[in-house]
Amino acid sequence: MTTPTVDQIVLATVSGDQTDELIKRLTQDGFYVTVVDSRGGLLDERLSTLLIGLNHTRRGALLGRLREECRTRRRLIPAQLETPLASAQTLMIEADTGGATIYLFDVERFEHL
């Protein structure tokens, strides 16, 4: 049995707290994943960028798994307000967190050394 040629690469930026379970599921599905951890965004929280090489015939399965595992959720976060008065109470606002930002690129050449 031959392995299908990698002809696309997906870069998916996901919330750090979703990363471990997502990688476990992707590995069970037969995908190979490289993880780059970072911090950032409005909430300055842990993020992970996943690099996933695949054959275009598996794109639907991959995107379906990402949709299933990377759901957005609402949570309360401290408002980043700068006021001249120091307040004893921090103002909290609702924000959507989680989810995924996905980029898909065609691969012109792939070599496995």
d(CA 21, CA 69): 8
Q: With contact defined as beta carbons under 8 Å apart, do 53 and 107 qualify? A: yes
Structural domain 8-106, CATH architecture: 2-Layer Sandwich (3.30)
Predicted pLDDT of residue 60? 97
The mean pLDDT value for 6-19 works out to: 92
Question: Of 24, 28, 19, whose CA–CA distance to 47 is shortest?
Answer: 19
Query: For 5, which DSSP code?
Result: P
The mean pLDDT value for 7-36 works out to: 94
Give per-residue pLDDT as tens, 42-90. 666 788 999 999 999 999 999 999 999 998 777 777 776 666 565 556 7
- pLDDT-derived band of residue 95, with 50, 70 and 90 as boundaries? confident
